[in-house]
Structure formats: C-alpha cells, structure tokens
Structure 1
C-alpha cells in the first residue's frame, strides 16, 4: 500500500514531530524534468555557469545554512535524537567539508593536458554527468548529504535530494539555503518520496548518477533498481569497525578515543567502533578504564543540555541491540554495565544504556553483525597476527584503527587490514582531504577528497591533428 503522507516520530517522546506530504509520481517526474532542463538549458544551463560563480554560490549557501545553526540543532535533536549539546557541531563539519571541496575544485576539475606530441594536441576534459540523485540517511543528515551535493554542484551537475523520512526538514533547510544563495531554479531540488516512487525515479532515463548512503539492504535494493541503466552508483553502506590496542599503546588516550568512537551519537554511525581487540598485556587495564569512563555518560532526553547519550532513533532499533546483548550473554559473554544505573533504559523504548562486553567471540552476532547502537565487544588477543586476522574476519570494511606508539609498526599492520580508511591513534573521523570509501559490504565508490570529484564527472578526450 502506498501512502501520501510521512510522519516523523521523535525518539525523544514518541510523538509526531513533523508531517509531510509525499510527492506523487507525476510530481517527481516534473522535478526531474526541471533538473534536466536546468542542466541542458543552452548557454544559461548550470554546467555553463563559470566555475568561479558556482563556487561563490555554493559558499554563500553554506554560510546561510550555518547561520541557522541554533534552529537546526533543535530540529536535529527532535528528529533523530542526538543530544542538543552536540547537534550544532554537525554544521561545523558541513562548513569544513564544503570549504575544502570548494577550495580544491579548480584543481580537481581542471583539464588534463598531455605532453607535447609533434603535430597533435591532446587533452582530457572532465564533464558533468547531468542529474544527480542523492539519497541521504538520518544519522548524520547534513554531513552525508553535503558529501555529494557540494562536489556535484561544483562539477556542473544538477541535484535532486531525497532525504530520510526521519529527517525531512534537513532537505528543506538545504533547499532554502541554496535558493537563498541564488542558485537558478531547478539546479537543486528535494523530494519527499515513498520507496516505490524512489525506485521509479532511479530507473528514469534522466537520472545520470546516484549517490546513496544507508544500510546494506537499502544499497542492495538501489543496485537492483539501477541495474541495466549503466549509470554510476555510489554506495556508502554499513560497518562493523574494529580497533586494535597494542601492548605499547597509550592506554588513557586509546580508552578516551574508543569509548567516544563507540558511543557518540548512541553508536548510530556507519564508522562507529563496534569491536575492540586488546593485547593481553594491557587488556585488564583497558577494560577497567573503559568501563569507568562509560559509567560517566548520562542517558536522557536529547533536548536536555546535560544529556551525553541520547535515545536511539526507534524503539525497534534499541530492542535489536538488546537482543544482540542478551543473546551474547546466553552464549557466555559478560556485560560490564549495570543497566539499572541508567533508569531510562527500558525494553520497548528508544532509551538504551551503553554496554561494554567481554568474553565475546566471533560466533556471537554482537561481534559480527552491525549493531548501530551503544554496545561494543572487547576481545583479548595474544599478538599482532591474531588481532589482524580478527579485524579482517568481517563482511564489512569501512574504517579500522590501531593504537600504538610505534608508528612504523602500526603502518605495517595497517597495510594488512582490509578497510577503506586506516586510523592510527584515532578513530571515527572524516578528513575531507581523504577519500571516504569502503570495501566488502561497506560499499563502493568514494566521496570527499579530490577523488570524489571523479565519481561526479566523466572524462572526455580530445585528439587534434594539426595539418
């Protein structure tokens, strides 16, 4: 059954926070036609607007968006449950990533001039693809969207944004910012869409590229919908990101980084740390310090300033993590956090206490299946080889981290880890100068960095003979 309206249920109190009408199939196609016309509109088309002007418009749009950080922070807190004290920081990341991409776009989009060859001129231009459909998730709704939107627009593409039903106001805020900056009509648009009409849009011949961020299941459905279209499909999917704490690591630094990496945003991040391997020599020390730090979290309503751990997005998501924990305990795992110390944590609600588990192994779902919640398993290992083997024993490969004071050894180990990003002595961070990419079920393609522009352009070779 198709619905004409979507309701956003706030994880804070279970009430409807915002409702929006869904676009019909005809409205979606009208939006697509407008985007295609804005791209192909002759000399007035977006792809023919000078790059300097596209840069200025994008910069102005981001400034307009960030000027509303207080209102946006409130909306984020209510829509997806992040503690209000952390919400504005997402816009800091948006500004950082946007400024970087705006700063490098001339180099990234420059014509590639080849060496001289007598009697010939040869070069390769990077041309925009056309209409880019961006499908963004709720957990980092501005950051994940901006990763594709800004480079797509800078490259001369037109963009349609389909945001998660959990965070529809993000799409509207972005649209208002780009329109306020003066982007021509049709260059950036958004649609609130049902799943059925989203699939129909993906299949439409006027869509030239698809940037999807979401679950593995969602990515699989997107691939099926795009099959036979022969268009680029960027997939940023899930993770079960590992960390290894070597015997020579700075334990206090490792604990601080990894506890935050596991529990920030209530663990609802594709690159959250979900499994930790610790050398036997420092294992007991690491676990004791990690438990002590975790007990300092305050679980509460995300609109309260002293809350440091907010609710999960849905009660079903929280209960899924509870099931993983309960199942692991039945299989012999030990839970170190007494849930009673976090009174709001109750089955059937969105509120879930953070949990650190030991005596875990890879027969347990909590160590192999993406949790997307505030739980992390910690395993004792005897040496580097065992740690690397366990880190690679996963269907995912988004990020991985190694904590060691021996940088050379850490780099050598990092070469053996099957991952898109390898961190040394940090975790859970996106540097816009580096490619954001994954392997295995974490997806394919990349965003950010200079390489991200290559996903959103096509090469066109010119071979000229001089008579």
Structure 2
C-alpha cells in the first residue's frame, strides 16, 4: 500500500486476501513538530544517562521482543505478507541486535587517546547528535527500525520514527516495546505521518539528523531536504546485487546459495541477490540447478510455519514486477520458471527464473523487487566483473567459486559494492558494517561504524595553563 498522503487514516490491506484490516489515524504535521520538540527535551536528559542505564533499557527491549515474537510475527503477516516463520526470525534478529549494542556500545564509543607530541592530553570523544528522524520501509518492519534505533539510543540520541504507511501496527508496537522496556517518555516516538510532511519535519530545529532506508527516489528527496538545512543523513537505498558464478563453482551448491539469496523476504529485499552472472562454460548446469532450487519456494499460506513464499506486499507491487518480467521476455529473455500471475485474490507471484537476460531488459537494468532471478551470461571472469559493476547500484555482491583465494581477491578488490561475500548470501549483522555505494546510498549501519554515524566525533585537547611568571596552574 502506498503512503496515503491525502487520507486521514492509514488502512491496512491484507496482502494474502485483499481484505481490509485495521485503520489508524494519521498524525498532522503540527503533531509531528510537537513530538520532535518533546523528543528534543527528553533527549537532553537521556544523553546524560550512563551506558549501564541505557543497556538495561535496550536489554529489556530484547526480552520483550522475544516474549512477544508470535504476536509480532502475526502482525507482520497481516500488514505486509511476511511468512510467520520469517517474522519470528526477524524478531529474534532484532532481539539479538539489541543485546549486541547493549553489551558493546560503551566499548564502541569509548574515548580514544591520540598521541600528539608536545600538545598535552588529546583524545577523541563521541557525543550524541540529538534527535534523529528515521524514515523506514515496510519490508522488514521491525528489523529496519531496531537496526537503527538500538545503536542510536545506546549512543544517547533520541529518535522520531516515520514508518511506511502499510505497517502502522508494527510502527506503534515498536514504540510500545521501548516504552515498556523503560525508555523515558518522549525519547522515541512513532509518527503515522504522510510522506509529504517529511521535508518540513526535517527542517525542524529539534531534528538533528536523518536515517532513511527506502527507494532511490525517497533517498534523493530526503537527502535534498536534509542538505538544504545542513543536516547529516544516512541512506540505505535500492540494490541490484550481482552474484558471480565462476567456472570452478559447483553448480548445485552455487544454485542453492543463489536461490536463498534471491528469495530473502520473498525477494522483497534491497540486499537480495538479483543478477546471477554465470560464466558460459557452466551456464547450462547452473540454469538447471537454479530452477530446481527455486521450485523449492512454493507459494503457500503465510500463517503456516512450513510456507516458503507468501504474497508480495501489495497487488500494485506484484503487478509492477510482472510487467518487468513480461517486458524482459519481450526483449529477448527466456522464461525458465514461474512468470504467471495466479488466478486468486491477493498479491501472489511465483518464484520465477529468467535466463538470456541482457542490457536493455528491465531484469538487467532495473531492480526487480520480487521473487525473480535473472541469469546473465559472461564470457570470462573479467566480463563477469564488468557486468556486475555496470549498474547504478552498489549494495551487496557475491562470488561463488571453488577457489577461496580467487573469490576473496575479486570480492575485496574488484566489485563496486558496500558488501561482498564469497560462497554465502549477503546479509546484515550487528557485528559487521552494512551499507552501499553509488545509488545504493551512503553511510553505514551496524558495528562500530554504524553507531558512530550519529555522534559528534569531538577532539579534546587538555593542557595545563601557564601563567605569566612561567609557572603552571595545576
């Protein structure tokens, strides 16, 4: 469901059935600005709390997430169609993320001494920036928010959340978790705000910075608004992740990794593998193996634990993906699996494999945000690297090979992406920096790099004062 900028409510549409669900009143711009002001006031006290006090709150949030995992997984299924099994896994990942930053934030943000000969005592300290506005997407409605919020709050920042309009229940549940965990009133606030009001909220003097995960268009809009008032932003945008299948790779093993990479969240993920660039000498074997692996993701009821593929998030999104598939076929791509819209209510689309994908086809040039794998031929290793890098995106990438040293060299030195994994599908992890280059955005989340995005990296120099008679004031 698109943001309902002209409506007074956000109404949930169940993607599996098309049935209308709960509706929630939207916040006005005036309410949003007042919430930012209250968050600013609350953050002035929160920033002075100890790491131990903050860790107690974020650690409690992890406990509550685990205790409520079934409820929250069901909520995600109702609002954006995630399978209940994936939903439970998402909540556990959120809880583990909270645990990690509760334990490690103090170390990540400890003062760092600098040896400057003759200058006195010099060190770098990390102070919170203030209130960060988080503009977040629907596809991982808990994880995307917690991924940002746990480190931001542990750093002493406040946060205001503008979530996607089709997951209002998830957005409000996150605020409730943090409140129940003991976070002081106002430090974190969820706003059900129309997208048209985001730029005005960014201009608020009570907003210090912005974090956005979303489309390239949304990223450009937020970056322009933030830049206009000289506020920092971190952007995690789209991706068309390329996986190189080299001539020394086992086709069956490579296909299993590729299918798993492609079908993350039913294919609705920025870091899902989308382009599988295979050397000509192993193309036929890989095609057969990938089709077999993708058949394992059968459409089913998302409330059933065994289901591997639920509905897409909306009928409109499903139709856009199908149009991209049909346009690619019309321009020369060959359909190996799927590619037909099921005759049933809801936003359903099957696991689909295209081969002979080439430049000029949507499956080659665009991000397909759904369960569609595109196989692209390459003459040799150099050609595969060229094809992989010939994209506006640069989020994740992979190399599938029997030679670990060869794969490491390509991943480290050759691929234009924020993350490159060898013989594994790309994923986010609180222990590793996460983010992209080019139109996939800038800045990092997770690990020490991520928690330092929304702090003032301050240099402090301390030197005894010398008085006029040459003595020192201690």
TM-score band, normalised by shorter chain: over 0.9
The structure 1 residue matched to 2:22, chosen from 10, 15, 18, is 18
Aligned to 1:336: 336
Distance across 1 between alignment mates of 2:67 and 2:218: 33
Check if 1:363 corresponds to 2:367.
no
- Stretches of structure 2 that go unaligned for 5 or more consecutive residues are 465-471
Displacement of 1:116:
6.4
Distance across 2 between alignment mates of 1:339 and 1:29: 46
Aligned to 2:468: none
What per-residue deviation string (whole Å, max 9, x for no partner) do you get for residues 229-275 of structure 1?
11110110000011011111132221111112112322100011111
Aligned to 1:452: 450
Displacement of 1:74:
0.7
Distance across 2 between alignment mates of 1:440 and 1:91: 30
- Would the alpha carbon gap of residues 408 and 306 (structure 1) be closer, same or farther in structure 2, given more than 3 Å must change? closer
Pick which of 455-464 and 116-125 moved more. 116-125
The structure 2 residue matched to 1:5, chosen from 6, 9, 18, is 9
8 Å Cα contact 2:298-2:351 kept in structure 1: no
Distance across 2 between alignment mates of 1:147 and 1:358: 35
What per-residue deviation string (whole Å, max 9, x for no partner) do you get for residues 408-435 of structure 1?
1112212111000000001131222211
Aligned to 1:401: 398
Check if 1:127 corresponds to 2:127.
yes
Distance across 1 between alignment mates of 2:304 and 2:87: 12
Aligned to 1:105: 105
The structure 2 residue matched to 1:352, chosen from 349, 372, 384, is 349
Distance across 1 between alignment mates of 2:197 and 2:227: 16
Distance across 2 between alignment mates of 1:20 and 1:234: 29
Check if 1:410 corresponds to 2:414.
no
SS, match of residue 436 in structure 1: coil
Distance across 1 between alignment mates of 2:149 and 2:363: 34
Check if 1:90 corresponds to 2:87.
no
Displacement of 1:449:
1.1
- 1:49-448 aligned at under 5 Å gives the runs 49-115=49-115, 117-118=117-118, 120-338=120-338, 345-346=342-343, 349-414=346-411, 415-448=413-446
- Would the alpha carbon gap of residues 320 and 116 (structure 1) be closer, same or farther in structure 2, given more than 3 Å must change? closer
SS, match of residue 166 in structure 2: coil
Displacement of 1:62:
1.8
Pick which of 370-379 and 89-98 moved more. 89-98
Aligned to 1:39: 43
Distance across 1 between alignment mates of 2:292 and 2:462: 69
Distance across 2 between alignment mates of 1:162 and 1:80: 17
SS, match of residue 313 in structure 1: coil
Displacement of 1:117:
4.0
Distance across 2 between alignment mates of 1:238 and 1:363: 19
Aligned length: 460
What per-residue deviation string (whole Å, max 9, x for no partner) do you get for residues 26-75 of structure 1?
211221111111122xxxx0010111111111111121122100111111
Normalised TM-score (structure 1): 0.95
Displacement of 1:295:
2.1
8 Å Cα contact 1:319-1:348 kept in structure 2: no
Displacement of 1:188:
1.4
After the TM superposition, which parts of structure 1 deviate over 3 Å for at least 4 consecutive aligned residues? 116-119, 346-349
Distance across 2 between alignment mates of 1:353 and 1:324: 14
8 Å Cα contact 2:254-2:400 kept in structure 1: yes
8 Å Cα contact 2:62-2:96 kept in structure 1: no
Displacement of 1:154:
0.5
Displacement of 1:380:
2.3
Distance across 2 between alignment mates of 1:253 and 1:141: 31
Pick which of 152-161 and 246-255 moved more. 246-255
- Would the alpha carbon gap of residues 387 and 183 (structure 1) be closer, same or farther in structure 2, given more than 3 Å must change? same
SS, match of residue 140 in structure 1: coil
8 Å Cα contact 1:78-1:302 kept in structure 2: no
Displacement of 1:338:
4.7
Displacement of 1:21:
0.5
8 Å Cα contact 2:291-2:353 kept in structure 1: yes
